[in-house]
Chains A and B, each alone.
Chain A
Amino acid sequence: MARAGKTQRKVDRDEVFLEYTRSICPVCKRVLDAEVSVRDNRVLLRKRCPEHGRFEALVYSDAELYMAQQRYNKPGTLPLEFQTEVRDGCPLDCGMCPDHKQHACLAIVEVNSGCNLDCPICFADSGHQPDGFSLTYDQVEFMLDRFVAAEGDPEVVQFSGGEPTIHPRILDFIALAQAKGICSVMLNTNGLRIARDRRFVRDLGRLKPHVYLQFDGFELETHLTIRGKDLRADKQSALEACAEQGMTVTLVAAIEKGVNEHELGDIVRFAVAHPAVRAIAFQPVTHSGRHVEFDPLERLTNADVMKLIAAQVPEWYRLDDFVPVPCCFPSCRSMSYAFVDGDTVVPFTRLIEIDDYLDYLSNRVIPDPDVRHALERMFSSSATPGAERTLLACESCGIDLPAQLDDLEDKVFMIIVQDFQDPYTLNVRQLMKCCVVEITPGGRLIPFCAYNSVGYREQVRAQLSGVDVEPVVPNAAPLQPLLQLTRHGSKTAADGGRP
């Protein structure tokens, strides 16, 4: 006889469990166990701090794509030297410790903390601040030497800050790095001094670093929200100056949800047409340091940025024109190369079956090891415009270009889509293979996302400036009751995060 009461039925979870890993508490930064799961085709990272509770953040907004990218995972390369020992485990032993899975493709030297702007969004928490630091020539030389010792022949050094162009010795630093045999020296700048100081531009033009120029869009509202000022005329002048001096430029666009995501297509069209611009780096805003309030579950990820490009420039790009970068963790960075000529844009992915070369998991013969090697150089964190040269010069190149294509170098255009981790999304699995590092004045090479999320940035700044720096906490919607302003404009937890 059937009972009238309720029968209990087992119910399935609403998510697919992918991975057990480690992360940190965004408030107190202690190391926590974490779970990565897929729900509604979104990849989420979840963790629980015994003191500050449960945190959940969006890691990648397209789980299918995320899973498909895993096979682009190139075995790492050992650096010549490690700077630290394994003691407390990732991410507390940076860097690099012998457990790190990859050498450094690109190293950043932050030459100062001061800036000629006070942007509402700045992961470095820089600005017109009296309590900052400015590195000496000897300090920079020591840092570069440590990088050379670790790498042998290092690929890329990027001078950053603060605003590196206002450092009185920035030209000497660039010349020094070039003299040390670093393949590519980049200058990461807001472009104000390049736009306004003719003599500086002439001197810079003699050194010709690759200019990594902040460029977030064309609308007044975008400039006011991200930079706090209308910098549109300055950006144009800076680009003209670079073109005059024959300096090549990567436009670096910080993309924030609800602010400038509709401008991606315009940036692409502008960049393709501008004589000085060879590349764009699109970066979803890093929610470290200073930034506008955000919802960790609704943030932009690489998948969104690539889909927006494909939607806003459908005549040139498709989602599958973006290739996951194998040197770092493949979901951290995707890139696209294209030949451009007027209105014709032909992505490399349409010319060559890149899957045949950069799939590291399926154990099958590589059609041509030279082509794989050339592609690895192109799809890498150290790739700067010109990285396609190896492929184009390759005798047995999969594209096998007609002779006339040899001088096509200035017709190659690159788009990089890079998502940096923040204290919410930090996953040691990705971090352990990170190949973008910050060099500290002590000579350590700290993975960029650890530097910005775990507390290393605050430590280094306090040490260099001699002034205490409050631990920075993300300006996330769920944390609002805990937060108070730091003197640099970022947020910290009131009462040290005691609930």
Chain B
Amino acid sequence: MTLAPEELKTCCATAYASAAARFLLGNSFHPGGAALTARLIRALQVGASATVVDVASGPGTSAIQLADETGCSVVGVDLSPQSIDAARRAAEAVGLGERVRFVEGDAEALPFEAESMDGALCECALCTFPDKRAATRELARVLRPGTRLALADVTARGERLPRELTGLQAWVACIADARPLEGIAALLWEAGLAIEIAERHDQALRDLLDRIDARLQLAGIARSFGEGVERARELTASARAAVAGGLLGYGVFVAAKR
């Protein structure tokens, strides 16, 4: 890895705001789609009076779902100005512009006061933050005691991943710096959060990889992305093999601030 941490963060945020990412991932940028997001939302146990932060909110899909399903207020944080713009437009389009706000910000230095939030959501993003300890500490810092973080992320046995899954492309694809399930649990514990739920959802990752592969095939039919399609399909195939071999997976955590 030759990029500095700051460059890496920006690279990820920019990649996810790009048309190619939208094409490959659709509206829901993470494994499990709206159904798994709904599970995380229920686990937060928040009502209409709560304010919840969605860290790395991307196109705003989950933030909007969170506000819609619980009636709470949501602040989405993302490093990419394009994503912030798109998310704002999406919230306004469904009449939730008042209750769902989006601000530019860094997950490793959240622009909120300590103990100002009644819940935090972080989906498939921890793996892309270079300083994971800082990010989890920040998540814990902004939560009021007793409130919860619902987090989903790619899990990986990094030391055993094949080489092609450890490069920059793979970093952007949430794989290269992903941690094992117990590694994430340890990070959360060290940050001051008590784990209530830790479970595997590897099938969700398998389904997402299938979707990405189908979309790459479609890009092949359209002769778009040139030769990149074949390379990307090889990467996808390698990731699928890693999931099948138990090296790569998807995990869901619910943790309360101690």
A residues sitting closer than 8 Å to B (CB atoms) are 339, 341, 344, 346-347, 350-353, 355-356, 364-365, 367-369, 371, 398-405, 408, 411
Chain B residues lying within 8 Å of A365, measured Cβ to Cβ, are 64-65, 68-69, 94
Spot the interface stretch: B8-16, B168-176, B186-194, B220-228.
Answer: B220-228
Given A351-B215, A400-B22, does the pair A367, B221 have CB atoms closer than 8 Å? no
> With A and B bound together, what is the CA distance between A325 and B211 in angstroms?
22
- Contact partner of A353 (CB less than 8 A), chosen from B23, B34, B69, B219, is B34
> With A and B bound together, what is the CA distance between A405 and B204 in angstroms?
28
Chain A residues lying within 8 Å of B217, measured Cβ to Cβ, are 344, 346
Q: For chain B, residues 58 to 90, give those with C-beta under 8 angstroms from any C-beta of chain A.
A: 61, 64-65, 68-69
> With A and B bound together, what is the CA distance between A11 and B221 in angstroms?
59
- Contact partner of B65 (CB less than 8 A), chosen from A344, A364, A403, A411, is A364
Chain A residues lying within 8 Å of B68, measured Cβ to Cβ, are 364-365
> With A and B bound together, what is the CA distance between A398 and B69 in angstroms?
21
Question: What's the least CB distance linking B63 to chain A, in Å?
Answer: 11
Chain B residues lying within 8 Å of A364, measured Cβ to Cβ, are 34, 38, 65, 68-69
Question: What's the least CB distance linking B8 to chain A, in Å?
Answer: 25
Q: A350-B215, A356-B33, A408-B221 given. 8 additional CB < 8 A pairs? A: A351-B215, A353-B28, A364-B65, A365-B94, A371-B27, A399-B26, A401-B222, A403-B224
> With A and B bound together, what is the CA distance between A405 and B28 in angstroms?
21
> With A and B bound together, what is the CA distance between A178 and B26 in angstroms?
38
Given A344-B217, A353-B33, A364-B65, does the pair A398, B224 have CB atoms closer than 8 Å? no
Judged by a CB distance under 8 angstroms, whether B48 is at the interface is no
A sample of 7 inter-chain contacts (CB < 8 A) reads A350-B214, A353-B26, A353-B34, A364-B38, A403-B224, A404-B223, A405-B221
Q: By the criterion CB–CB under 8 Å, are A404 and B222 in contact? A: yes
Interface of A is mostly: mixed
Question: What's the least CB distance linking B23 to chain A, in Å?
Answer: 5
Given A365-B65, A404-B224, does the pair A346, B23 have CB atoms closer than 8 Å? no
Question: What's the least CB distance linking A324 to chain B, in Å?
Answer: 18
Look across to chain B and name the residue whose beta carbon is closest to the beta carbon of A411.
B221
- Contact partner of A346 (CB less than 8 A), chosen from B33, B214, B225, is B214
Question: What's the least CB distance linking A135 to chain B, in Å?
Answer: 44
Judged by a CB distance under 8 angstroms, whether B218 is at the interface is yes
Given A350-B210, A364-B68, does the pair A402, B219 have CB atoms closer than 8 Å? yes
Look across to chain A and name the residue whose beta carbon is closest to the beta carbon of B21.
A400
- Contact partner of B221 (CB less than 8 A), chosen from A339, A347, A400, is A339
- Contact partner of B218 (CB less than 8 A), chosen from A339, A355, A367, A369, is A339
> With A and B bound together, what is the CA distance between A369 and B217 in angstroms?
27
> With A and B bound together, what is the CA distance between A352 and B23 in angstroms?
10
Judged by a CB distance under 8 angstroms, whether B19 is at the interface is yes
Question: What's the least CB distance linking A345 to chain B, in Å?
Answer: 9
Q: Interface code B22-61, partner A: CB below 8 Å = 1, 0 otherwise? A: 1100111000011100100000000000000000000001
Q: By the criterion CB–CB under 8 Å, are A351 and B211 in contact? A: yes
Q: By the criterion CB–CB under 8 Å, are B26 and A400 in contact? A: yes
Chain A residues lying within 8 Å of B225, measured Cβ to Cβ, are 402
> With A and B bound together, what is the CA distance between A395 and B210 in angstroms?
24
Interface size class, chain B: 20 to 34
Question: What's the least CB distance linking A485 to chain B, in Å?
Answer: 52
> With A and B bound together, what is the CA distance between A365 and B69 in angstroms?
8
Chain A residues lying within 8 Å of B222, measured Cβ to Cβ, are 401-402, 404-405, 408
Given A341-B221, A356-B34, does the pair A368, B27 have CB atoms closer than 8 Å? yes
Which of A365, A398, A404 has the most chain B CB atoms closer than 10 A to its own CB?
Answer: A365
Look across to chain B and name the residue whose beta carbon is closest to the beta carbon of A349.
B214
Chain A residues lying within 8 Å of B94, measured Cβ to Cβ, are 365, 369
Chain A residues lying within 8 Å of B214, measured Cβ to Cβ, are 346-347, 350-351
Question: What's the least CB distance linking A497 to chain B, in Å?
Answer: 52
Question: What's the least CB distance linking A286 to chain B, in Å?
Answer: 35
- Contact partner of B23 (CB less than 8 A), chosen from A339, A368, A401, A411, is A401
Which of B23, B61, B65, B218 has the most chain A CB atoms closer than 10 A to its own CB?
Answer: B218
Look across to chain B and name the residue whose beta carbon is closest to the beta carbon of A367.
B27
> With A and B bound together, what is the CA distance between A369 and B22 in angstroms?
17
> With A and B bound together, what is the CA distance between A365 and B35 in angstroms?
12
Q: By the criterion CB–CB under 8 Å, are B27 and A398 in contact? A: yes
> With A and B bound together, what is the CA distance between A14 and B210 in angstroms?
40
Chain B residues lying within 8 Å of A346, measured Cβ to Cβ, are 214, 217-218, 221
> With A and B bound together, what is the CA distance between A351 and B211 in angstroms?
6
Chain A residues lying within 8 Å of B220, measured Cβ to Cβ, are 341, 344
Chain B residues lying within 8 Å of A398, measured Cβ to Cβ, are 26-27
Question: What's the least CB distance linking B82 to chain A, in Å?
Answer: 14
Q: Interface code B150-190, partner A: CB below 8 Å = 1, 0 otherwise? A: 00000000000000000000000000000000000000000
The 7 closest A-B pairs by CB, nearest first: A350-B214, A365-B68, A402-B224, A341-B221, A404-B222, A405-B222, A404-B224
Question: What's the least CB distance linking B198 to chain A, in Å?
Answer: 25
Q: For chain B, residues 193 to 219, give those with C-beta under 8 angstroms from any C-beta of chain A.
A: 210-211, 214-215, 217-219
Chain B residues lying within 8 Å of A371, measured Cβ to Cβ, are 27
Q: By the criterion CB–CB under 8 Å, are A367 and B19 in contact? A: no
Chain B residues lying within 8 Å of A339, measured Cβ to Cβ, are 218, 221
Look across to chain B and name the residue whose beta carbon is closest to the beta carbon of A353.
B33
Chain A residues lying within 8 Å of B215, measured Cβ to Cβ, are 350-351, 399
Question: What's the least CB distance linking B190 to chain A, in Å?
Answer: 35
> With A and B bound together, what is the CA distance between A368 and B224 in angstroms?
25
> With A and B bound together, what is the CA distance between A350 and B209 in angstroms?
10
Question: What's the least CB distance linking B62 to chain A, in Å?
Answer: 10
Which of B28, B34, B211 has the most chain A CB atoms closer than 10 A to its own CB?
Answer: B34
